Amino acid sequence: MSMINIKLNNMDLACPAGSTILEAARTAGIEIPTLCYLKEVNQIGACRVCVVEVKGARTLVAACVYPVSEGMEVFTNTTRVREARKKTLELILSNHRKDCLTCVRSQNCELQKLCIEHGVDQVRFADDELKAEIEASTAHLVRDNSKCVLCRRCVSICKKQQDVAVIGANDRGFATNIGSPFGRTLGEMACVSCGQCIIVCPTAALTEKDDTEKAYAALADPKKHVIAITAPAVRVALGECFGMPMGTNVEGKMVASLRRLGFDKVFDVGVGADFTIMEEGTEMMQRLETGENLPIITSCSPGWVRYCEQYYPEFIKNLSSCKSPQQMTGALIKTYYAQKMNIDPKDIFVVSVMPCTAKKYEIWRPNQQAVTGCNDIDVVVTTRELGRMISNAGLMFTNLQDEEFDPMLGISTGAGYTFGVTGGVTEAALRTVVEKLTGKELEKLVFEEVRGYDGIKEAQYDVAGRTVKIAIASGLTNAGNLLDSIKSGEANYDMIEVMGCPGGCVNGGGQPIQTGFVQSFNDLREIRGSALYKGATDSRHLHKSHESPIVKEVYSECLGEPGGEKAHHWLHTTYKEQPKYPGLAAEQKK
Amino acid sequence: MPNTKTSVPFVGTTEQAAKLQAVIQRHKGQRGASMPVLQEAQEIYGYLPEEVQVMVAEGLDIPLTEIYGIVSFYSQFILEPKGKTHIAVCMGTACYVRGAGDILDDIANHTCCKSGGITDDGSVSIEATRCIGACGLAPVLTINNDVYGKLDRGQIEPIIDEYLEKAKAEEAAEQE
């Protein structure tokens, strides 16, 4: 990499050629403020908050897009720069609905943070008439355009990273607004509910639909037996809600806090994941034997499943018929656990804590009732919502003593544990499938090739005399590209793992929100993912799903064989092609 | 987010669809293909309803949101079809100071049609245009292809009624 020399605030700085002023300044320990910037996703210089002075330039320039050049002299903190940034912020505030006292993003809002940092201590150009513009047509998301700063991060992430593109910038000038075409609601579009738009939103223009009241209502109902279940990825991110370093595994404190919130039992969705491996592994072995419907494609990620139904319906037959680990855990609670504890499943209320917003949608999908008339999961709260519940209850999270999950459905294997990160499902499946097919114990547990954070990974293993070709995609653009290569005949695989969000659940749409600057210069996927891999090896005695005592017990007591009739009834589901333009399709049907 | 979906049901012929497909094929893969395709699509259909924009989006493999973003950005693209009687009132400076605003309101009231909109039955549409270059006739408007200038309030309503009656008579004749 060739280096060039610039002067930054009169100090010499060597930086790689081709970097932007923003990147160069960062290496010198200066965070130039940003609002619309998101590295590699949204670099459009739109918000003008990152302006700096460049000697010889006629105007201030946007540091996020302006490349450095040899001998350039940059000033990031002159009076002119400070005044310009402040004025820009004041103008953004002029049509921002400022209900900061009651806003869910207060203290975690990039606009608020910038205003504090830039001494915006009065509102000079207020529009006091601004009304909330709420759009809440989906199960997972609330949009309030009265708080939108038109940064377009959501638009970019939806299109570039997720290949969904159901929102865009409409109209022009002062009337510009972010939304779906023709004033359609998101519910009328083929949104996959991934929530990536929420975690990149700098303000509260996009938030998850808050379902904590439903959880509180169940907890307050003496007739309800209320159970919390938590996904693997929650424990490596929840600490961020309480100022703990990114990548801290807070499993024990999370369990302790859930007990203190009043949950009767706290179970681990990692256990559901172990069952997923048993069922999906069996399905995979059957398909490998018959050669039908290969590649088998994972179905754990509801954002991905919905994407498949809407955008790649020709691959529906390839989807594993397994429910997701969340739904399997819920199904086992309402059947096995209910029978064992002699509780009417209708009196059990399952609150699922998820790193994911699509899970809020998944619970309402068809065929997600192991017990007829009884949803497998009653309500989903995201990691962020749980964080708020813990704060609400006055729990001193960082001081809590670690506690363990309730044992009946609470001890997952290391295999189930890794479901929260891209490649994890594949590795967990391989640990079981390879042993079953070869009849021999694995020599090593780790399948290096399937780990890592590339958008598409490939691996190939010789198992019991045949080659098993595997691909792993995370992020829906990558998934789409992979499916396109299969459609065109360029590639073929036996198994594909898809996670809707880049990096897998650790980077899900329900996870704690870091600023755009933090997201741009830290790989959250890797930081949280490594914590998950570490937790999976450190704390677990068992590493293969088929060796789990819970798995063995439930199959022998109730389910029978993996892939058997009862297992199918409880743990499997169905898929159906969905229109790509649902609003228009519904009108045309009429 | 204003609802910009037209209330007039879409009627497209197979000939129109074939024409549009030919246009799409001609431009597909080119940089900046969406502008010329949308312009030609508007020539074919007279306007750009959701159905047409979906055809363009699918044909060019560009998301509908992006197509709609372009259409709603440029005022040359229209989302409402033109009515059988299309009234365009000039809102240029000269016309405006000579009372075009009042005339526009009067016409909207008289025809029960919003400015920039179309009646549900598709009989009347009203457009507020930029300067049409006939300032000497201010205030000026056009009905279909006919120009009416130097108007006072109250003069235009009977003229519009004539057009409406003529259109009705034509429709009745067509049905026979």
**Span B142-172, pLDDT tens digits:** 999 899 999 999 999 999 999 999 999 988 8
- Answer yes or no: do A372 and A451 share one domain: yes
Residue A579 lies in a domain: no
Same domain, A332 and A473: yes
Q: Does B64 touch chain A (CB under 8 A)?
A: yes
A182 touching B (Cβ < 8 Å):
yes
- Answer yes or no: do A107 and A229 share one domain: no
Structural domain ending residue among the three candidates A207, A234, A254:
A207
pLDDT digits (tens, 9 = 90+) for A403-419: 999 999 999 999 999 99
State the pLDDT at residue A88: 97
The whole-chain average pLDDT of chain B stands at 93
Name the residue among B5, B63, B66 with its Cβ closest to that of A182.
B5
Residue A574 structure tokens: 């169905």
The pLDDT value given to residue A78 = 97
Rounded to an integer, what distance in angstroms lies between the CA atom of residue A92 and that of residue A74?
Answer: 25
With 70 as the cut, is the pLDDT of residue B2 above it?
Answer: no
pLDDT given for residue B1 in this prediction: 52
Q: For residues A521 and A385, state if they share a domain.
A: yes
Tell if the CB–CB gap between B4 and A183 is shorter than 8 Å: yes
Residue to substitute from B65, B67, B78, interface A, most A β-carbons within 10 A: B65
pLDDT, tens digit, 9 for 90 and up, residues A105-151: 999 999 999 999 999 999 999 877 899 999 999 999 999 999 999 99
Please check whether residues A394 and A332 belong to one and the same domain: yes
B1/A145 CB distance under 8 A: yes
What contacts B49, CB < 8 A, 6 or more positions away? B6, B10, B79, B81
A148 in the same domain as A257:
no
- Whether residue A158 sits in one domain with residue A57: no
A135/B contact by beta carbon, under 8 A? yes
Which structure tokens are listed for B132?
A: 């049409």
Residue A66 lies in a domain: yes
User: What tokens appear for A479 in the block?
Assistant: 């998934």
Residues A439, A459, single domain; the answer is yes
CA pair distance A436, B148, nearest whole angstrom: 86
CA distance A29 to A27: 5
* CATH at A144: 3.30.70.20
Contacts of A366 (CB under 8 A, 6+ apart): A573, A574, A576
Domain membership of residue A417 (yes or no) is yes
Average pLDDT, chain A: 96
Contact between A155 and B65 using a beta-carbon 8 Å cutoff: yes
* Contact call for A145 and B73, based on CB within 8 A: no
Complex ipTM, two decimals? 0.93
Please check whether residue A191 touches B, CB under 8 A.
no
Q: What is the CATH number of the domain that holds A232?
A: 3.40.50.1780
The answer to the question of residue A315 being in a domain is: yes
Contacts of B77 in chain A (CB under 8 A): none
pLDDT tens for residues B66-84?
999 999 999 889 898 989 9
Give the pLDDT score at B7: 79
Contact A167 B54 (CB under 8 A): no
pLDDT band for B117, please (50, 70, 90 cuts). Answer: confident
Looking at beta carbons, which residues of chain A come within 8 Å of B2?
Answer: 183
Strand A456-463 versus strand A225-230 pairing type: unpaired
* A28 and A164 share one domain: no
**Do residue A227 and residue A192 come from a single domain?**
no
pTM of the predicted protein model? 0.93
Cβ distance A182 to B66 less than 8 Å, yes or no, reads no
- Identify the closest residue of chain B to A134 by CA–CA distance: B1
A236 within a domain of the structure (yes/no):
yes
A405 located within any domain: yes
Residue A61: which CATH number?
Answer: 3.10.20.740
For A:527-546, CB contacts with B below 8 A are none
Pair of tokens at residue A7? 């002067």
DSSP codes, A334-377: IIIIHHHHT--GGGEEEEEEES-SHHHHHTTSSS--SBTTB-S-
Do A63 and A104 sit in the same domain of this protein?
no
**Total number of domains in chain A:** 3
Question: What tens digit of pLDDT does each residue of A340-382 get?
Answer: 999 999 999 999 999 999 999 999 999 999 999 999 999 999 9
Residue A15 is assigned to a structural domain of this protein: yes
Is A433 near chain B, with CB under 8 Å? no
Q: Who has greater pLDDT, A532 or B117?
A: A532
Q: What is the pLDDT of residue A590?
A: 80
Q: Based on the fold, state whether residues A122 and A236 are members of the same structural domain.
A: no
Which residue does chain A place closest to B1, by CA atoms?
Answer: A183
Q: Does a structural domain hold residue A89?
A: no
The count of CB pairs under 8 A between chains A and B is: 55
**DSSP states along A491-547:** ---SEEEEESSTTSGGG-TTSPPPPHHHHHHS-HHHHHHHHHHHHHHHS-S---GGG
Which residues in chain A land under pLDDT 50?
Answer: none
Instruction: Give me the pLDDT at residue B116, please.
Output: 85
pLDDT at residue number A540: 65
CB of B63 within 8 Å of a chain A CB? The answer is: yes
Cβ separation A171–B68 shorter than 8 A: no
Q: What is the least distance, in Å, from the CA of A188 to any CA of chain B? A: 13
Instruction: Tell me the residue range of the domain where A18 lies.
Output: 3-77
